[in-house]
Structure 1
């Protein structure tokens, strides 16, 4: 069977829009706490609010964006979100107090939530159905690259030129993201409303209930992953792995990129269970290795396994959420998935901070490995055992048999 074309102008445009927005997101996430303490003289206890208010704003506006995409169109919501995101990036250099910074983070979070929800919905319609797993995998790779490039660029700029250079680069990246969104041509979907949809409640218009089971599995996994993004650098310092700590996410990204050409194609060819079950196991083993790490080598090996495992899971679970939802509600399905996924990160960061204070970081990572096993059970119970074999291999066999 001949495969449909994946690398179109529109696929590249929506992927680059996502890349530039996430570069700014990750760059500001690691540098704003330093700006708050160095320039605004904020106390350490308030630094967590810089991330929290941003995520809360994004979470609140994700389902609203999904609904608006159906009403006003996907591209319009993407452009509005990108414009708000750009405005936020421009205003950072004008901030002179912690309270004004937090207010700006609300605006930036709204733009981020709208833009990233829109890109997730749009890319699902740009990617051919027979290459969805592969396409979503490559789309996620742009976000994964931003996760490495953003923090590295931000910290390097602060060291070389100060915070003003960070704000300037954030503005440039935001402008590029907006330009990419403007050249994007979004496929027109025929919006067919059933009598059930017409009578649907306001809550049903915000959330795609068919995507909730897989989103719940994503919540459990992101809860455990919060231990990586929130505490892995502190853990490395405590264990005297500082000489290799900066390479953790580099190894993470390299292993993810090396696996990406295979995992996405396997998703399409053999079905989601063939990819998701091993990915959860690799992620769980990686987290467990961190809890047992006594050398930098083990620490970096864990980073590689987590990169393959969790990096594969983010695109695979999102693909499933889109797959089980009606085409005209793919934006809502994307919003539903990321509301729970982002909530898992936020709740996990808060809860695991308490856990680490009680039993230490090694004990906390041991708990997260157990949560990884729980995620395997949750995925099986909510989706895996019901998953129909709709892979490319199955379709090819059906055609041959006919």
Structure 2
């Protein structure tokens, strides 16, 4: 039987647009904490706040964006979000204080939260249901490739080219996100039926209109791991500078992504064939091993080896968790499922960024990274009780029926 196509024109367009969105995100994520510490004379806790404010606004806007997509369509929300994202990128050129930077970060978070909710929903609708796990894995590569190039260029810019060049590049990347995604054809189905929209409007906004209940448990799992992952996103470049690894700091995410990309095609196919548990449990162990090695790193090769283990572990686990959230939702509620998953996950990222900044000031990042490996292993039990133990029950339902019913 011939496989349904994955790499359609629409999939490629949304893939490239999402790449530039995350390129801008990662580009600024690793450089702005350094900018705040060096040029604005802030502590690590304030640098973490720069990430937290961005995440908070993204969290607050996502349920609203998910609900609006059901009413006015995905394309309208997608284009609006890209314009907000580009506008915020321009405003960075005019900020020279922490308060001004926090305001721009808040606006940028709104655009990013709306855009990533839209792209996650659009790609879920584009992908054939029989290959959704595999397709989501390939789609996630756009984020991971951005994770390689973005931090590398961001650290090069902040260390060698200056902040003006840093912010101009952010504008260019945001512009390309619009250029590639703004002209794609987006199908209207499966949106909420008009009769259902009118019915919900008469009854007013209810909890299940902004939260997809079936996605909550697996989203909590993602948020728990996101707390640790935030320490890498926000502070691994600061940690590398403190340890004297500045010459290879930009290569951390390169190594991370290389090993993640090597594993991703296999992880997606195994997810579709064997189920989530066969992927998630080994990934948690690899993630934990990578974090303890990062905390113990006394040489550049140990620093980069930790990136390889984290890439294999966390880099393969995250798209599996997101796919679970989408599969459990009914087709017309995939937008809310995506919004719910990303919002709860980002609570972990936002809370973690601020918490890690405080802990880093108190005990040092190396101690935090080492202790976090134990925390990650505890996450095995959390995953099991919130989702893992239900896998056997779900596998008795034929795969086709799972996708059609949202089971």
TM-score, reference length from structure 1:
0.89
Is 1:348 matched with 2:349? no
Unaligned runs of 5+ in 1: 397-402
Is 1:75 matched with 2:75? yes
Given the alignment, which residue of 269, 272, 276 partners 2:276? 272
Is 1:339 matched with 2:340? no
Is the contact between residue 283 and residue 305 of structure 1 (CA under 8 Å) also seen in structure 2? yes
Q: Decide which moves more: 377-386 or 148-157.
A: 148-157
Cα distance, 1:292 vs. partner? 3.5
Cα distance, 1:342 vs. partner? 1.0
Q: Which residue of 1 aligns with 2:10?
A: 10
Q: Which residue of 2 aligns with 1:140?
A: 140
CA distance in 1, matches of 2:12, 2:100: 36
Is the contact between residue 70 and residue 191 of structure 2 (CA under 8 Å) also seen in structure 1? no
Is the contact between residue 294 and residue 369 of structure 2 (CA under 8 Å) also seen in structure 1? yes
Is the contact between residue 151 and residue 250 of structure 2 (CA under 8 Å) also seen in structure 1? no
CA distance in 1, matches of 2:361, 2:167: 34
CA distance in 2, matches of 1:169, 1:378: 41
Cα distance, 1:96 vs. partner? 4.7
CA distance in 2, matches of 1:136, 1:284: 24
Q: How does 1:59-208 map to 2 (within 5 A)?
A: 59-159=59-159, 161-187=161-187, 188-192=189-193, 193=196, 202-208=206-212
Given the alignment, which residue of 381, 385, 389 partners 2:385? 381
- Closer/same/farther in 2, CA of residues 354 and 168 from structure 1, 3 Å limit: closer
Q: Which residue of 2 aligns with 1:57?
A: 57
Q: Decide which moves more: 284-293 or 71-80.
A: 284-293
Q: Residue 286 of structure 1: SS of its match in structure 2? A: helix
Q: Residue 2 of structure 2: SS of its match in structure 1? A: coil
Cα distance, 1:320 vs. partner? 0.4
Is the contact between residue 155 and residue 250 of structure 2 (CA under 8 Å) also seen in structure 1? no
CA distance in 2, matches of 1:215, 1:196: 28
Q: How does 1:252-401 map to 2 (within 5 A)?
A: 252-388=256-392
- Closer/same/farther in 2, CA of residues 378 and 195 from structure 1, 3 Å limit: farther
Residue by residue over 1:138-175, the C-alpha shift from the partner in whole angstroms, topping out at 9 and shown as x without a partner, is 11111111122112223334455433333332222212
Is the contact between residue 49 and residue 353 of structure 2 (CA under 8 Å) also seen in structure 1? no
Is the contact between residue 93 and residue 167 of structure 1 (CA under 8 Å) also seen in structure 2? yes
Residue by residue over 1:272-307, the C-alpha shift from the partner in whole angstroms, topping out at 9 and shown as x without a partner, is 111111111211121122234344333322211100
Is the contact between residue 227 and residue 368 of structure 1 (CA under 8 Å) also seen in structure 2? no
- Closer/same/farther in 2, CA of residues 185 and 368 from structure 1, 3 Å limit: same
Q: Which residue of 2 aligns with 1:230?
A: 234
Q: Residue 137 of structure 2: SS of its match in structure 1? A: helix
Q: Residue 181 of structure 2: SS of its match in structure 1? A: helix
Is the contact between residue 18 and residue 177 of structure 1 (CA under 8 Å) also seen in structure 2? yes
CA distance in 1, matches of 2:191, 2:60: 27
Unaligned runs of 5+ in 2: 401-407
CA distance in 1, matches of 2:248, 2:131: 37
CA distance in 1, matches of 2:163, 2:362: 35
Is the contact between residue 82 and residue 178 of structure 1 (CA under 8 Å) also seen in structure 2? yes
TM-score, reference length from structure 2:
0.88
Is the contact between residue 48 and residue 354 of structure 2 (CA under 8 Å) also seen in structure 1? no
Is the contact between residue 62 and residue 340 of structure 2 (CA under 8 Å) also seen in structure 1? yes
CA distance in 2, matches of 1:105, 1:217: 26
Cα distance, 1:244 vs. partner? 3.8
CA distance in 1, matches of 2:99, 2:242: 32
Q: Decide which moves more: 228-237 or 74-83.
A: 228-237
- Closer/same/farther in 2, CA of residues 106 and 350 from structure 1, 3 Å limit: closer
Residue by residue over 1:61-111, the C-alpha shift from the partner in whole angstroms, topping out at 9 and shown as x without a partner, is 011111111111111111100011111122322335443332222221111
What is the count of residue pairs matched by the alignment? Answer: 395
Given the alignment, which residue of 215, 221, 226 partners 1:217? 221
CA distance in 1, matches of 2:298, 2:34: 30
Q: Which residue of 1 aligns with 2:28?
A: 28
CA distance in 2, matches of 1:303, 1:214: 25
Is the contact between residue 296 and residue 366 of structure 2 (CA under 8 Å) also seen in structure 1? yes
Cα distance, 1:57 vs. partner? 1.1
- Closer/same/farther in 2, CA of residues 97 and 246 from structure 1, 3 Å limit: closer
Q: Decide which moves more: 124-133 or 360-369.
A: 360-369
Residue by residue over 1:159-210, the C-alpha shift from the partner in whole angstroms, topping out at 9 and shown as x without a partner, is 5543333333222221221122222222321525499978685222111111
Is 1:245 matched with 2:246? no
